[in-house]
Chains A and B, each alone.
Chain A
């Protein structure tokens, strides 16, 4: 159908439309009009991707000078491929409707092996790739540096975007890294030596260039051609490379010294935690390395590798890592912490020193993106609470909205199970984690559910270790055997290949009617990347609240930073983080309006307002007072009722006019009024 979104002609490749899609496009258009950033939460399975693509493509066609490019980032390869398929569908629709084959060029980068050459990126109207191509400075510099300012950037599935940012800026150094770096430096030295004999002019030319400084890069940045690189801060662009590392030999010598210093730091007996300035002070006192040459390390190494014409940069990953670390630690006095651990907490007898250089501020990595591109849209099915993202990513959105899922029948059924049938409080909290009664009641919940839920059930645990212990305990108590009478059991392991196979078998068992249970882990790959549509997931059970492992020093440092810099209380952040993962897990089961599924939160803490209130609006609004602190039996009764209702045929006619609209219905005054209520502004 052809839509009129506030005066913009939008081709939408379907015969019908969901009201929330219309509402979403409206908000999106306002964001683009304002040339600002947006945060939009819309439930999965309501056609978010096609709404995004339809609107932005239409916008690009209508205002080719205002928006030149769409950069669509998603997280997993299948997600990226799905976007491409949807785009293909949209383009076919355009061709069919307009009768002309359009000249839109879309490009997808998925996985490094088909990493494309960047001129093509520059000419494409739409680029689809993974987050890293934009957020990881090491790759962004290669791929995305020259993307036009008038691009619209979309981060889909963005609920974990802060972690991606942090990951791309953090470095871990072990003894092995240092050894490999040592080998790299030796190789560099030899190569320099050889070149000096054969082609000394080359090194002289490099020296000359370095005296000139990084002016070129500076000019480029000032004239606004490049996306800024957080590893290459503005200040150093205006200066020449310091004399102490200007010649190739001096630089190699410098790296050796730095390496020796790092080695000495790893010879610790106790945990050390310090800030970047403390680290710089120490390195100056011990080996007289100044801050300035350190800042140029990454750039200087790149220049050297280019000069030496080294083809396979991958071999030099260790020395690149160290030089990146040198630049980061000397550039950012805030937002990072250094933690040196001599051994793993679990194995205090085995020396395995690691230097963690951890980024605690996700805004550092994403800042260039917000600064450069006129509109950046952060969207996902679960972004609650919406206001936390602008805070931790440090940007000012022009639109923030959460959309509900309009439903002709309530196809999701969130239940909070807080007690066993014996009134024992159910919780995964640390104190009762080993409690026999809790584990038994959890087992009982799964057993009862396995008897009444058709086809597939997915159960998530808070961590892998927790799941292992519970599974072992259920096995000893014979609970698993009883479950096997109803369904086959598959369990996620730490091996990705093994788990993939288990997943496929799980789907096979759901497909052929036998029914199966998948035991899995929140924050794991399954919980983030696998959808359980229709019969692949008729119920999701979340055992416990998936808090992050709080004993980690890195996490503690991050929490402190959040408190000091962003005034976000530790508990608020931890709860937010736990709830977004819980929402991700339970959201796996509902992938559309014709789908249906139970969402069982098995922990009494979910009933509290501070937890419940952090769930996405589209889940929250279906939690009523009657489903707050259920016993296992009560949950089973409610589930039976729900499943029986859902098993009735559900036809298009049932939805039409309510949660599914024709063009005429959409254009009616009454409906347009209703639609304004779908978007919930914050």
Chain B
């Protein structure tokens, strides 16, 4: 484990730990400390295990750095080199500051995964309470048995997990606040930025093109919020901004989406009507259309809002299902090939046929084909998981009871002595059985 071939990033001498002098090593994946004069580490923490670091306030006599681990334990280092103590500590702190976030993600993921498993599986959770909380085994042991799987030996359950979509209202969450001096403040979080990027890939592209070469991050977002692109309902004042291209791209994307048409023929409004009246026939009692060129500014701003909402919703939806898209495309393609061969007398696209049959189906008028089953009505799933236990609450065995009885049995077993003289003869047994 402690092979010294690891890359050592920083070595700090004269660091005391538990009142012992020693040397602190910061390496690629862990931080370690060894007492003076010995060639092995008595303290070694993987960065991934570290939750955070704390430092003693300036001006305190002891210059210290404390590492808090995810398990709750902590290790304190005392920088004892009188002349450079503060500098040493700063160097270690700075380096840790850079290193910890890199590992944090991984650790968080693991933690989240564990959390998720416990939440999704009540049985596992109960087991966890019984074993870990009551300290029968340690958390590490528990997880080591439970899932060697977490660390990607078996990635399938993790990948099957539904991806988290994007809130439809993420733009609403960045409502500007006035900062008191004729300005607006937009609060952006990493999540929101991620949402913007996922929903509007064109903006992400602009970002990677311009930041940080041409613009700082702050400038980029300032321009974004000032842009006509963000305020789609305002009529373009002709200002050239870097986002006008995005708007054009969106427009184009929308157009291709529209021209591609819809897969489900039952929602295709264009082919809904069998025959629209010939030009010149019919009655127009409806209000004069607004599609004329002489629309007022208000009208076109209104229709811009409507367009924008449709586009936004479509993009949010697409961002959420981008992954599933491939699979469903394939599915529809395969079904189309076999659909055509099956139904040669009637050239209907198979999607259409399926949709039509769905539409005319009366499931309740048909005898149910599947075998009759009695639906299980679970009122309390944990009780179901525990098997038949008496209903009286006072007799309900708690984890502590179980542990006590286990201990009791263990104790009994330890002091168990077979009294061989009392054993019955085999013949006698046979007789008794009869």
Contact = CB atoms under 8 A, between A and B. Distances in A.
Given A80-B274, A112-B275, A480 B285 contact: no
B256 to A, nearest CB: 11
B138 interface: no
A168 B275 CA distance: 11
B267 A503 contact: yes
B156 interface: no
Interface string B52-86: 00000000000000000000000000000000000
B102 to A, nearest CB: 34
A471 B302 contact: yes
A637 B12 CA distance: 67
Interface string A462-501: 0111001101100100101110110111110111111111
A78 B301 contact: no
A552 B261 CA distance: 35
A167 B364 contact: no
Given A77-B273, A111-B271, A346-B288, A484 B283 contact: no
B257 A501 contact: yes
B167 A481 contact: no
A503 B269 contact: yes
B167 to A, nearest CB: 7
A82 interface: yes
B123 interface: no
Given A465-B290, A493-B303, A516 B267 contact: no
A652 interface: yes
Among B279, B290, B321, B363, the most chain A Cβ lie within 10 Å of the Cβ of B279
A491 B310 contact: yes
B316 A488 contact: yes
B262 A503 contact: yes
A171 B262 contact: no
B280 A484 contact: no
A116 to B, nearest CB: 13
Interface string B296-316: 001101110111011001101
B321 A82 contact: no
Interface in B336-376: 352, 356-357, 359-360, 362-368, 375
B286 interface: yes
A54 to B, nearest CB: 12
Given A465-B287, A489-B309, A490-B309, A77 B167 contact: no
B268 interface: yes
Contacts of A275: none
B291 A494 contact: yes
Contacts of B277: 132, 136, 167-168
Interface string A140-162: 00000000000000000000000
Contacts of A618: none
Interface in B159-215: 165, 167-169, 171-172, 175
Contact of A471 (B305, B359, B368): B305
A350 B288 CA distance: 14
Interface in A509-523: 509, 512, 514, 516, 523
B416 interface: no
Given A171-B280, A321-B280, A500-B261, A82 B285 contact: no
Among A111, A173, A347, A484, the most chain B Cβ lie within 10 Å of the Cβ of A484
A596 interface: no
Contacts of B261: 497, 500
A177 interface: yes
A404 B58 CA distance: 83
A653 to B, nearest CB: 10
A594 interface: yes
Contact of A317 (B280, B356, B365): B280
A363 interface: no
B430 interface: no
A592 B363 CA distance: 10
A507 B365 contact: no
B291 A594 contact: no
A14 B359 contact: no
Contacts of B305: 471-472, 475
Interface stretch (A386-394, A424-432, A525-533): A525-533
A469 B302 contact: yes
A508 B321 contact: yes
A89 interface: yes
Interface string A534-556: 00000000000000110010110
B368 A652 contact: yes
B357 A85 contact: yes
B290 A494 contact: yes
B317 interface: yes
B364 A594 contact: yes
B391 interface: no
B233 interface: yes
A15 B310 contact: no
A475 B233 contact: yes
Given A111-B275, A494-B289, A507-B267, A488 B317 contact: yes
A660 B285 contact: no
Contacts of A291: none
Nearest to B377: A649
Contact of B280 (A16, A77, A318, A508): A318
B393 interface: no
Given A110-B274, A494-B290, A494-B291, A500 B268 contact: yes
Given A78-B265, A501-B314, A502-B310, A344 B275 contact: no
Contact of B283 (A166, A475, A594): A166
Given A317-B280, A480-B309, A504-B264, A549 B285 contact: yes
A472 B281 contact: no
A364 B274 CA distance: 22
B263 interface: yes
B288 A344 contact: yes
A496 B270 contact: yes
Given A321-B278, A501-B257, A552-B285, A496 B364 contact: no
B289 A130 contact: no
A138 B280 CA distance: 13
B313 A489 contact: yes
Contact of A172 (B280, B298, B366): B280
Nearest to B320: A514
Contacts of B284: 172, 356, 552, 554
A529 B309 contact: no
Contact of A485 (B168, B266, B272, B357): B168
B283 A525 contact: no
A77 to B, nearest CB: 5
A27 B216 CA distance: 77
A30 interface: no
B388 interface: no
Contacts of B281: 138, 167-168, 170-172, 321
A500 B314 contact: no
A554 B282 CA distance: 12
A2 to B, nearest CB: 15
B369 to A, nearest CB: 10
A373 to B, nearest CB: 20
A129 interface: yes
Interface in A101-158: 109-112, 129-130, 132, 136, 138-139
B275 A78 contact: no
A480 B310 CA distance: 12
A359 interface: yes
A60 to B, nearest CB: 21
Given A76-B274, A111-B275, A485-B172, A490 B375 contact: no
14 contacts: A82-B360, A167-B283, A172-B282, A465-B287, A465-B290, A484-B168, A489-B313, A490-B309, A494-B289, A497-B258, A512-B317, A533-B359, A552-B284, A660-B365
Closest 10 CB pairs of A and B: A481-B172, A130-B274, A484-B169, A14-B365, A488-B313, A484-B168, A485-B169, A15-B367, A468-B302, A167-B282
Given A481-B169, A509-B313, A558-B285, 10 more contacts: A16-B367, A18-B365, A47-B362, A177-B280, A317-B279, A468-B299, A485-B168, A507-B264, A525-B272, A552-B285
